């Protein structure tokens, strides 16, 4: 676990883009901690994995109608982006709207998990201030998210679940973590662990995310391999422990001291685990999820009853060359998620680990010539042994420009809010009904705080 992480230029650019979105989340907090309820003691273990697809995944080509008439409507609207019907991967839906659907041909592993009932999709999810109709949107009477269709704003709003305010500096994952952190007792490691750089999603009021690389805890750069290393580290610790009267000096010393301590605990825990036999693909996502599986394996020595993970990949802003580019992206997604689920089986925690996707927004149904443009509502995966599977959740949109779900240009008005999607996940993680408004301040505006896709 002492491997020095040396990212490629391509990996560095992708991760830097991911990290840039969340940096502001570390600056301030807004919630009154006196209102937080103490978590009820429990001996069970649960982990959440947020898998963010930066750029706006075109879910119109992920979940595709497979009835002849509905498919023809889809194909006519998509033009050169349409996936040939004979290439679709059938998914077995026992409860739904009576229609047939297929997955993109680059998703065979996820189609298999869906058919096993270990993965589901929630359809037409998006950022909403309140339930919104087409008429309200067209007439300009609907309250809509701030800077709708903007990458940075919509990605952050997915993470905060507060799309009508621009001053939110905590994520819904971080606020949920604040509520359940006491379940980890005296653990010296944050329950919020990111393998993909800084992010707003995991920032709480008391919970501070700890960042790792796909190869382990980063440690202090430039200290390694010398017999005098421990002398240097001990000296640095003593400097940090000195009184610091200036605000920024004190903040730096506190953050650095905490990071050094967590790094030592994490390195020791990771060095002590039995290597997994599950093979992960050698991709950016595969390496990140491999590290998540190792951190789950180390949960006992880390003293963890709850863990929150953030992983991410970029490249989903497919304005051009979409057919080829998305096929590669979805292959990375399918193989990575499948390997991770296999790892949870190997660890015996498949019922206790839930992975869900999120993305800036969906994309337009019509092609722009080589790709698609920024949309709104999209479809998201949820994977794990606790999934209530073999069905779709939410309402699949009518695939018609100027249809009942359209803004006028092929962007779907969400029929399920990020609040409803995320609150269902937070409930499973251990957030009580009475604390839901603390985590999701707008949840009272929506009719379905529990969509039922997690048992």
**CATH of residue 152:** 3.40.720
CA distance 156 to 158: 5
Q: How confident is the model at residue 10 (pLDDT cuts 50, 70, 90)?
A: very low
Structural domain contains residue 237: no
pLDDT value for 226: 74
Point out which residues pair with 63 in neighbouring strands: 103
- What does residue 241 show for φ and ψ, rounded to 5 degrees? -80, -10
Judge whether 46 lies within some domain: yes
Residue 347 has pLDDT above 90, yes or no: yes
Token representation of residue 117: 């009932």
Mean pLDDT for the chain overall: 90
Residue closest to 451 by CA, chosen among 179, 121, 44 = 121
Concatenated DSSP letters of 339-390: HHHHHHHHHT-GGGEEEEEEES--B-SS--SSS--B-S-EEEEEESTTB--S
Query: At 40, is the pLDDT very low, low, confident or very high (cuts 50, 70, 90)?
Result: low
CA–CA distances in Å: residue 313 to residues 99, 129, 263, 288, 337: 32, 27, 24, 9, 13
d(CA 59, CA 380): 8
Given a cut of 50, is residue 18 above it in pLDDT?
A: no
Q: Is residue 192 part of a domain?
A: yes
Q: Is residue 450 part of a domain?
A: no
pLDDT of residue 256: 86
pLDDT of residue 76: 96
Q: What is residue 290's predicted lDDT score, i.e. its pLDDT?
A: 98
- Hunting for tokens 């989903």 — which residue is that? 316
Count of the separate structural domains present in the chain: 1
Calculate mean pLDDT across residues 408-432.
97
Residues above pLDDT 90, as percent of the chain? 81
- What pLDDT sits at residue 26? 33
The predicted pLDDT at position 39 comes to: 53
Average pLDDT over residues 266-280: 96
* 352 belongs to a structural domain: yes
| 11 pLDDT above the threshold of 60 | no
Handedness of CA 80, 57, 126, 102 (dihedral sign): positive
| 129 Cβ contact list (under 8 Å, min separation 6) | 142, 143, 144, 145, 163, 164, 442, 445
Radius of gyration of the chain from its Cα atoms, rounded to whole angstroms: 22
For the segment 47-94, what is each residue's pLDDT rounded down to a tens digit? 999 999 999 999 999 999 999 999 999 999 999 999 999 999 999 998
Q: How confident is the model at residue 230 (pLDDT cuts 50, 70, 90)?
A: confident
Question: Can you tell me the mean pLDDT for 334-340?
Answer: 99
pLDDT at 406 over 50: yes
Q: Is the pLDDT of residue 221 over 90?
A: no
Residue 19: the pLDDT is 38
Average pLDDT score over residue span 341-369: 98
Q: Dihedral sign for Cα 382, 59, 412, 398, please.
A: negative
Residue 254's pLDDT band (boundaries 50, 70, 90)?
A: confident
Give the pLDDT score at 255: 83
CA angle 219/221/227 to nearest 5° reads: 85
Answer yes or no: is pLDDT of 428 > 90: yes
Residue 432 has pLDDT above 60, yes or no: yes
Give the whole-angstrom CA distance, residue 206 versus residue 208.
6
In the chain, % of residues over pLDDT 70? 89
pLDDT of residue 22: 34
Question: In the prediction, which pLDDT does 95 show?
Answer: 75
Structure tokens at 412: 């779907």
Does the pLDDT of residue 130 top 90, yes or no? Answer: yes
List the end-to-end C-alpha distance of the chain, in Å, as a whole number: 36
Examine the pLDDT at 2 and tell me if it is beyond 70: no
Is 428 within the bounds of a domain?
Answer: yes
Comparing 222 with 298, the larger pLDDT belongs to 298
Q: Comparing 221 with 296, which gets the higher pLDDT?
A: 296
Q: Which residue has the higher pLDDT, 236 or 381?
A: 381
Cα angle 423, 424, 429; round to 5 = 90
Count CB-CB contacts under 10 A for residue 332: 17
The pLDDT assigned to 67 comes to 94
User: Tell me, what's the pLDDT at 43?
Assistant: 66
Mean pLDDT throughout 219-248?
A: 81
Name beta bridge partners: 193.
210, 309
Q: Looking at 6-15, 176-185, 361-370, which range is the least confident one?
A: 6-15
Given a cut of 70, whether residue 41 has pLDDT beyond it is: no
Domain that holds residue 320: 9-218+257-445
Is residue 299 assigned to a domain? yes
**Whether 71 contacts 61, CB under 8 Å:** no
Model pLDDT, residue 220: 74
Query: Which string of b and e fits 96-119 if b means at least 16 CB within 10 Å?
Result: eeeebbbbbbbbebbbbbbbeebb
- Which pLDDT tens digit goes with each residue over 138-175? 999 999 999 999 999 999 999 999 999 999 999 999 99
> 242 versus 9: which is more confidently predicted?
242
pLDDT digits (tens, 9 = 90+) for 104-113: 999 999 999 9
Task: Please state the φ and ψ torsions of residue 120, each to the nearest 5 degrees.
Answer: -135, 175
Classify residue 245: in a domain, yes or no. Answer: no
């Amino acid at each position: 676990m002492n491997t020095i992480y040396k990212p490629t230029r391509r990996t560095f650019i992708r991760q830097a883009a991911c990290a840039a979105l969340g940096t502001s989340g570390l600056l301030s907090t807004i919630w009154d901690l006196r209102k937080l309820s103490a978590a009820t003691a429990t001996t069970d273990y649960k982990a959440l994995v947020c898998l963010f697809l930066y750029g706006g995944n075109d879910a119109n080509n992920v979940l595709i109608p497979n009835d002849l008439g509905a498919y023809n409507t889809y194909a006519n609207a998509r033009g050169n982006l349409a996936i040939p019907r004979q290439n679709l991967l059938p998914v077995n839906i026992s409860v739904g709207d009576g229609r047939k659907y297929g997955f993109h041909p680059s998703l065979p592993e996820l189609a298999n998990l869906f058919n096993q009932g270990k993965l589901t999709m929630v359809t037409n999810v998006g950022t909403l201030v309140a339930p919104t109709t087409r008429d309200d949107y067209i007439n300009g009477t609907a309250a809509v998210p701030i800077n709708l269709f903007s990458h940075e704003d919509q990605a952050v709003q997915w993470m905060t679940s507060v799309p009508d305010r621009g001053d939110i500096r905590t994520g819904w994952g971080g606020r949920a973590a604040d509520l359940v952190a006491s379940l980890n007792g005296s653990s010296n490691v944050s329950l919020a662990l990111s393998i993909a750089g800084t992010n707003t999603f995991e920032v709480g009021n008391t919970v501070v995310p700890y960042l790792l690389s796909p190869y382990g805890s980063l440690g202090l750069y430039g200290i390694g391999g010398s017999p005098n290393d421990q002398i240097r580290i001990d000296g640095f610790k003593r400097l940090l422990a000195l009184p610091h009267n200036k605000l920024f000096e004190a903040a730096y010393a506190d953050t650095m001291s905490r990071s050094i301590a967590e790094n030592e605990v994490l390195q020791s825990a990771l060095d002590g685990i039995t290597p997994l036999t599950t093979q992960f693909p050698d991709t950016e996502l595969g390496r990140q999820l491999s590290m998540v599986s190792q951190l789950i394996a180390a949960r006992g020595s880390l003293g963890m009853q709850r863990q929150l993970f953030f992983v991410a990949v970029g490249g989903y802003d497919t304005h051009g060359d979409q057919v080829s580019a998305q096929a590669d992206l979805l292959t990375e997604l399918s193989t990575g998620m499948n390997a991770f689920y296999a790892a949870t089986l190997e660890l015996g925690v498949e019922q206790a680990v839930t992975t869900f996707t999120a993305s800036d927004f969906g994309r337009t149904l019509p092609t722009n010539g080589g790709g698609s443009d920024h949309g709104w509502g999209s479809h998201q995966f949820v994977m794990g042994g606790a999934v209530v599977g073999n069905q779709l959740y939410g309402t699949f949109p009518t695939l018609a420009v100027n249809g009942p779900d359209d803004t006028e240009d092929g962007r779907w008005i969400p029929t399920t809010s990020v609040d409803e999607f995320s609150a269902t996940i937070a409930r499973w993680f251990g957030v009580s009904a009475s604390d839901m408004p603390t985590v999701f301040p707008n949840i009272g505006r929506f009719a379905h705080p529990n969509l039922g896709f997690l048992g």
